[in-house]
Chain A
Amino acid sequence: MTGLSGVSGALTIVLGGIGALFFFAGTLGMLRLPDFFCRTHAATKCDTVGAGSVLIALAIFNGFEVSTIKIVILAALILLSSPTSGHALARAAHRTGLRPWTARGDERGVTPR
């Protein structure tokens, strides 16, 4: 926890604000979008950009220390694993026969909420 100069503090606040905005957009899409595939679209974006940007902000704030390496490893893990799990979920749902929602009508019997 070093004393922060102006640039690193401003970068931390800006990147953290961007991450919070993306997390809010992801939550909104998670609650409001009509279908699983649409929700995957919102959720994966929220995870990668939001969490990646907040973790990079915290790594910049932390400065040159040992724990910064762990934060960078965490950011890399999130950036790799979140799109992979989203794609695996969407592929499993598509291959086992979940039909995408269409605006004209619901053909499969699961009512979108």
Chain B
Amino acid sequence: MDGFFWGLAIFLLVNAFACLWRAYAGPTIVDRLLAVNIVGTKTLVVLVLLTLVFGRALFLDIALVYGLLNFVVTIVATRFLETGRLKGDW
């Protein structure tokens, strides 16, 4: 079963790097925010997979903090966009 988990983790990492291209080349700010959000979610799933492979429960707490931080960053950035402190480039 470890082989399946390793394969899933490597597949998700390849997907995350593909999404990183959108964060680099996205035409607007919101595209970059969305891409970073997705990369964060994939990293979280990879962390849970590594928890099961290595058998260390410490990674689960890191994944929990990662998910909360991802959510808070997106909400704060959209709040800045709506109140006008962060200008969209369209």
Complex Cα–Cα for A31 and B33 (A):
14
Complex Cα–Cα for A1 and B84 (A):
50
The number of inter-chain residue pairs (CB within 8 angstroms) is 149
Known: A27-B15, A36-B28. Is A89-B55 also a contact (CB below 8 A)? Answer: no
Asked if A24 is at the interface (CB within 8 A of a chain B CB), the reply is yes
Q: Of residues 35 to 72 in B, which have CB atoms within 8 Å of A's CB atoms?
A: 35, 37-38, 41-42, 44-45, 48-49, 51-52, 55, 57, 60-61, 63-64, 67-68, 70-71
Task: Describe B's contact surface by its main secondary structure.
Answer: helix
User: How many of chain A's residues have a CB under 8 angstroms from any CB in B?
Assistant: 56
Q: Which residue numbers of A lie inside 8 Å of B, CB to CB?
A: 1, 4, 9, 12-13, 16, 19-20, 23-24, 26-27, 30-31, 36, 39-40, 43, 46-47, 50-51, 54-55, 58, 61-62, 66-67, 70-71, 73-74, 77-78, 81-82, 84-86, 88-89, 91-93, 95-99, 108-113
